């Protein structure tokens, strides 16, 4: 394994460590061949990510050798971005699953490990593999690579730091474009322009809400004109080498009401207590309860069915978020140093969120924008 590929974001030693962890898990599953087809997993292990337009996959053998099945038109990109030397391409008029079948057959596996939680291993594709290899045992590799990705390396944390800097700049640029009389799309234009100028490498760099959509964190922009006294929010989600940092801030158009100021202040104070509790060894359910009980007790939420935080890291199509670990009632997992989370809390169209690194010393807020209701 070499690092002679200019577009590889990490050193060869980083990929060697990831591959070693995968090989160890394969041994535990008694698998002599692993089929990896989630884009997140492929990129994590090999460095190569694709659009998802056609099925592509990474095959790893128990001896550590690897092979990529790729779309022919992606070959140049693949060779620049992966340490894997053996690439098998297919053209758009070819059946990629038939070629995959030949690659699997060439390895003659007794046990084939598959990611049963993959969006790309559809029922039809799985049935094809089962029918073609009736004597092969299939081992469930679901969640294995996701779990291995939970603890971030220093190089991964650096990507998240850079993404956080972009996220902060995006929120500020978008907020400056909020003004009564302007189109609700102008802040989005300013946000995207800033993200691209600063090096974000993803197409979806933010989520926006205005007017009636602010109560829905996954609303969509319309064509309205911003009016004095209304709320706007920006949730920036830029990526660096695929690693996404996130931050959300509410913005009052023209002026903020006393009610909105009060809610914003309470959310920040409650969430600050939650973030302070995010130390190694903490119980996730207990950390979540800090905000869940307070928000309901103070009437800031009538119901609270949402998570109050979730895993951050590498994100790829079709997933827009990683819920390998979530902060929710009843969760019993333990926080560990090196984990990174998007902690988000909102009420009545006023969201506040941060990118938080769990460290040995104290929680580190990678995003740094002032935690206050902005007024523009």
Residue 120: give its domain's CATH number. Answer: 3.40.350.10
Band of the pLDDT at 4, cuts 50, 70, 90? low
Predicted confidence band of residue 209 (pLDDT cuts 50, 70, 90):
confident
Residue 185, SS3?
coil
Question: Do 257 and 138 belong together in one domain?
Answer: no
Whether residue 94 sits in one domain with residue 111: yes
Domain identity same for 123 and 159: no
* Overall pTM > 0.85: yes
The span from the first CA to the last CA of the chain, in angstroms, equals 52
Mean pLDDT of 241-257: 96
* Mean pLDDT within 198-224: 73
Taking 80 as the threshold, does the pLDDT of residue 174 lie above it? yes
CA-to-CA distance for 2 and 5, rounded, in angstroms? 8
What percent of the chain stands above pLDDT 70? 95
Report the percentage of the chain scoring pLDDT > 90: 89
pLDDT in the model for residue 9: 86
- CB-CB contact of 279 with 341 (8 Å): no
Q: Confirm whether 195 is domain-assigned.
A: yes
pLDDT for 214 beyond 90: no
Specify if 1 maps to a domain.
no
Residue numbers of the domain that contains 228: 154-375
pLDDT at 302: 95
Question: Last residue of some domain: 129, 148, 167?
Answer: 148
Q: Is the pLDDT of residue 269 over 90?
A: yes
Q: What is the CA radius of gyration of the chain?
A: 23
DSSP annotation string for 261-297: HHHHHHHHHHHHHHHHT--TT-BHHHHHHHHHHHHHH
Q: How far apart are CA 248 and CA 264, in angstroms?
A: 12
pLDDT band of 351, cuts 50, 70, 90 = very high
Residues 63-87: tens digit of each pLDDT: 999 999 999 999 998 999 999 999 9
Q: Mind listing the pLDDT tens digit for each residue in 8-49?
A: 889 999 999 999 999 999 999 999 999 999 999 999 999 999
Domain boundary among 148, 171, 197: 148
Last residue of a domain, which of 126, 148, 170?
148
Least confident of 115-124, 140-149, 236-245, 313-322: 313-322
Same domain, 123 and 169: no
Q: Quick check: is 66 in a domain?
A: yes
> What is residue 20's predicted lDDT score, i.e. its pLDDT?
98
- My answer on whether 242 and 365 are in the same domain is yes
In a domain, 362, yes or no: yes
Note whether 111 and 182 are same-domain residues. Answer: no
**130 and 162 fall within a common domain:** no
> What DSSP element (H or E) covers 207?
strand 206-210
Number of domains in the chain: 2
Model pLDDT, residue 212: 52
User: Closest by alpha carbon to 226, among 174, 182, 176, 175?
Assistant: 182
Three-class SS state of 196: helix
What per-residue confidence (pLDDT) applies to 243? 96
Decide if 186 is inside a domain: yes
Regarding whether 206 and 107 lie in a shared domain, the answer is no
């Amino acid at each position: 394994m070499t690092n002679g590929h200019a577009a590889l974001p990490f050193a060869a030693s980083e990929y060697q460590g990831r591959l070693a962890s995968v090989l160890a898990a394969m041994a535990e599953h008694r698998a002599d061949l692993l089929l990896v087809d989630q884009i997140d997993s492929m990129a994590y292990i090999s460095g190569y990510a694709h659009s998802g337009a056609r099925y592509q996959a990474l095959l790893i053998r128990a001896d550590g050798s690897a092979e990529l099945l790729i779309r022919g038109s992606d070959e140049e990109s693949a060779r620049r971005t992966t340490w894997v030397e053996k690439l098998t391409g297919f053209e758009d008029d070819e059946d990629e699953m038939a070629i995959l079948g030949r690659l699997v057959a060439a390895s003659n596996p007794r046990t084939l490990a598959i990611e049963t939680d993959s969006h790309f291993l559809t029922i039809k594709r799985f049935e094809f593999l089962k029918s073609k290899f009736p004597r092969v045992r299939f081992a469930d590799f679901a969640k294995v690579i996701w779990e291995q990705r939970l603890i971030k390396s220093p190089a991964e944390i650096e990507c998240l730091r850079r993404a956080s800097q972009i996220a902060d700049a995006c929120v500020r640029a978008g907020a400056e474009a909020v003004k009564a009389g302007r189109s609700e799309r102008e802040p989005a234009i300013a946000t995207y322009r800033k993200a691209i100028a600063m090096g974000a490498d993803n197409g979806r760099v933010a989520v926006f809400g205005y007017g009636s959509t602010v109560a829905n964190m996954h609303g969509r922009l319309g064509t309205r004109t911003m009016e004095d006294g209304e709320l706007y929010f920006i949730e920036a989600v830029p990526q660096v080498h695929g690693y996404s940092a996130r931050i959300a801030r509410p913005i009052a158009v023209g002026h903020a009401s006393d009610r909105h100021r009060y809610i914003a202040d309470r959310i920040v104070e409650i969430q600050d207590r939650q973030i302070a509790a995010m130390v190694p060894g903490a119980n996730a359910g207990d950390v979540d309860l800090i905000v869940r009980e307070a928000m309901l007790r103070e009437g800031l939420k009538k119901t609270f069915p949402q998570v109050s935080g979730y895993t951050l890291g590498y994100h790829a199509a079709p997933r827009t978020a990683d819920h390998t670990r979530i902060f929710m009632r009843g969760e019993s997992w333990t926080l560990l140093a090196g984990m990174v989370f998007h902690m988000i809390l909102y009420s009545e169209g006023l969201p506040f969120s941060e990118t938080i690194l769990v460290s040995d010393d104290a929680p580190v807020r990678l995003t740094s924008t002032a935690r206050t209701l902005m007024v523009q």
